[in-house]
Chains A and B, each alone.
Chain A
């Protein structure tokens, strides 16, 4: 069987594995289409020809880039799930070109389904959004209009995404060895990421400092944004340095004789290390968008794009986090079976999973929430924002991640307890 035939055969035989990747590509295409079309729409303050660059154009570009990053992220997980097939190809004498051909064939097949479907869905989603927003902005234009500037940006955006995916996949084929491919699905090694060495309390101080500034300074979104940047450096340090050492100490000193927490803390520590970049992205984007909402609260055209960005990004990040949890759960299924052999029962295992998920999502919800609460209270109490709006912004974030936590728990539980036997 030739490489292309084998690639198509494996794709058909195991399409379930490709579902998340395909879904991510569809979603990112929808985001690209909808956002670029909105930025070209004069009703939202855009330029139909796509020549002038307003703040919302830049913001939309950021959202689109993040949507693409999510697609790349899904692609890398997709590749790690395909490592055994790739190892077989390599062991059968396949060269880098064969491997690249295999990956690219499967990728192009998925892209051929996902991108047109994404554009089609985007085409039908756009009027739905317009139908909801036009009356609020007093616009009477046709809700079905697709702007040439938006369409051009969409095509350029999708082509860029395709080129990057091709480069990413070819690079993966070039640099990956058979040994790595064989063990890629079960390895637990966390690569250490660079971090400026500072005493741990400095990171905590850097995180708290913006809160003090929010309280002391008069409500100004750009000053708050600058202060948040300092805080985000603190959050990064807390995630990479403070939390791991606190968790390590807790499991070694406090919960050594606790059958559930000893395991769940170890798992949580590992999961947080694995997801640091994603969690940082979640916190950074959400905090920035809250600051932008404060800045443009009285400019409905801009605010709508910002709210859309906030909703889409929060949703995308939550989905990515769920996917990350699913991948981890797949790796942990064997460990949970071992725990049963040691004497743990199903009830114990569920408790361990619950504690890990609770810890993981608490970090994602609580870290930015402290900033959100102070920023939104300051703006609302100064009369620069409505209380109802401020509460809705926070509630939406909490709601999405609580739902994501519940889904993660159920899927995690399903994966590790499936076939665990006695």
Chain B
């Protein structure tokens, strides 16, 4: 299978002063293959988002290497990274990250405008993805006029409209209610299974994580455990996820 992201011995240290330095990632390695649906979990401050940022060109590791499609991220210039992002990546974040000064239609169209695509094609692609995500009635509205669930759908539409090879999602359900959260995950799962889109997601919710194919558990900047779903049912996989998440707490129980 084609390896999209290859992270080897990634170290991320914050701070210049040796005394106050924080090691957020400590020699972490991971390969992401085409069609993967990987969830990263771990306690607060474990380094989940740092890991995600380092794997998706947003941040650079202090040491180690991250290769995307065989190309070392560190060697890429700003223009190359920019092009790489709009050609290959789709970002979904907890805060939606929509542009408040643009309508929903324009927000979804922004990544396409970078690709120098004809206006008619942009219109039809925006309409198509909007219909798929049931936001076609919102296209003339501004983000402020939409609910949290609607805004997250718009963020997904914007992330998917360019048909990216890799979707990077950092706590995508953090601002959603449970109904909207499960609808979103069902949609991402379908996208992964039917269209082969690779997904890398950070979440703190075991139920949300149970939609993925593989779980990477991070603790104190190192990978503390990996669970592959393989032939498990979602319920079995969910229990395993709950177990790894609560291991530390279980050790503290008296009886």
Which listed residue (B59, B87, B110, B144) contacts A262, Cβ 8 A? B110
CA distance A256 to B113 in the complex (A): 7
Interface residue from B85, B97, B101 paired with A270 (Cβ < 8 Å): B101
With a cutoff of 8 Å between Cβ atoms, the chain B residues found around residue A344 in the complex are 82, 114
In the complex the two chains form, is B117's CB within 8 Å of A342's CB?
no
Let me know if B171 is at the binding interface, CB within 8 A: no
Complex: chain B residue closest to A261, CB-CB: B113
A338 touches B99 (CB 8 A): yes
Q: Majority SS of interface residues in chain B?
A: helix
B103-116: CB near A (< 8 Å → 1, else 0) gives 10110011111101
25 sample A-B contacts, Cβ–Cβ < 8 Å, listed by A number: A188-B101, A188-B143, A252-B103, A253-B119, A256-B113, A257-B117, A262-B106, A263-B101, A266-B99, A267-B101, A269-B101, A332-B101, A335-B101, A340-B82, A341-B58, A342-B86, A342-B91, A342-B110, A342-B158, A343-B82, A343-B89, A345-B78, A422-B57, A422-B58, A422-B59
Q: Is the CB of A256 within 8 A of B122?
A: yes
Q: Which residue of B lies closest to A331 (CB)?
A: B100
State whether B113 touches A259 (Cβ < 8 A): yes
- Chain B residues near A345: list those with CB within 8 A: 78-79, 81-82
A263 near B102: Cβ-Cβ < 8 Å: yes
Q: Which of A256, A262, A338 contacts B97 (CB 8 A)?
A: A338
Q: Is B133 an interface residue (CB 8 A)?
A: no
Most buried by A among B91, B105, B110, B122: B110
User: Cβ of A334: which chain B residues have Cβ within 8 Å of it?
Assistant: 97
- A346–B143 alpha-carbon span in the complex (Å): 25
B60: CB under 8 A from chain A?
yes
Min CB–CB distance A243 → chain B (angstroms): 14
Contacts of A332 in B (CB 8 A): 101
Given A189-B144, A346-B78, A257 and B102 contact (CB-CB distance below 8 Å)? no
Q: Is A179 an interface residue (CB 8 A)?
A: no
Pick the 3 closest A-B CB pairs, nearest first.
A343-B86, A188-B100, A343-B85
Known: A188-B144, A422-B81. A342 touches B114 (CB 8 A): yes
B131 located at the interface, meaning its Cβ lies under 8 Å from any Cβ of chain A in the complex:
no
Cβ of A421 within 8 Å of any chain B Cβ, yes or no, is yes
Give Cα A251–Cα B107 distance, bound, in whole angstroms. 11
Supposing A262-B113, A342-B110, A421-B58 touch, asked if A257 and B122 sit within 8 A by C-beta, the answer is yes
Listed residue (A262, A270, A335) with the most chain B CB atoms within 10 angstroms of its CB: A262
Instruction: Tell me what chain A mostly uses at the interface: helix, strand, loop, or mixed.
Output: helix
Give the interface size class of chain B. Answer: 35 or more
In residues 225-266 of chain A, which contact B (Cβ within 8 Å)? 248, 251-253, 256-259, 262-263, 266
Report the Cα distance A239→B25, complex, angstroms.
52
Given contacts A256-B123, A266-B103, A348-B82, 4 further A-B contacts (CB under 8 A): A338-B97, A343-B111, A422-B58, A422-B81
| A187 sits at the interface (CB 8 A) | yes
- Scan A341-358; emit 1 where CB is below 8 A from any B CB, else 0: 111111010000000000
B83 within 8 A of A: yes
Q: Does B252 contact A (CB under 8 A)?
A: no
- Please, how many residues of chain A have a CB less than 8 angstroms from a CB on the other chain? 32
* Contacting residues of chain B (104-150) with chain A, CB-CB under 8 angstroms: 105-106, 109-114, 116-119, 122-123, 142-144
Residue from B82, B118, B122 whose CB has the most chain A CB atoms within 10 Å: B82
Q: Bound state CA distance, A343 and B111, in angstroms?
A: 8
Residue on B with the closest CB to A274? Answer: B101
Q: Which residue of A has the minimal Cβ distance to B117?
A: A257
Complex contacts, A258 vs chain B, CB 8 Å: 113
Which residues of chain A are within 8 angstroms of B103 by Cβ–Cβ distance? 248, 252, 266
Which residues of chain B from 50 to 74 have a CB within 8 Å of any chain A CB? 57-60
Q: Which residue of A lies closest to B144 (CB)?
A: A189
Closest to B155 in A: A338
A258-B58 Cα distance, complex, nearest whole Å = 24
Residue among B87, B91, B97, B122 having the largest count of chain A Cβ atoms under 10 Å: B97
Q: Is the CB of A263 within 8 A of B110?
A: yes
> How far is the CB of A328 from the nearest CB of chain B, in Å?
9
Q: Which residue of the partner chain B has the closest CB to A262?
A: B113
Interchain nearest-CB distance for B83 vs A (Å): 7
Residues in A with CB closer than 8 Å to B158 are 342
Chain B residues near A342: list those with CB within 8 A: 85-86, 91, 110-111, 114, 158
Given A266-B101, A342-B85, A422-B81; A251-B106 close (CB under 8 Å)? yes
Alpha-carbon separation in the docked complex, A257 to B114 (Å): 7
Residues of B within 8 A of A341 (CB): 58, 85, 91, 97
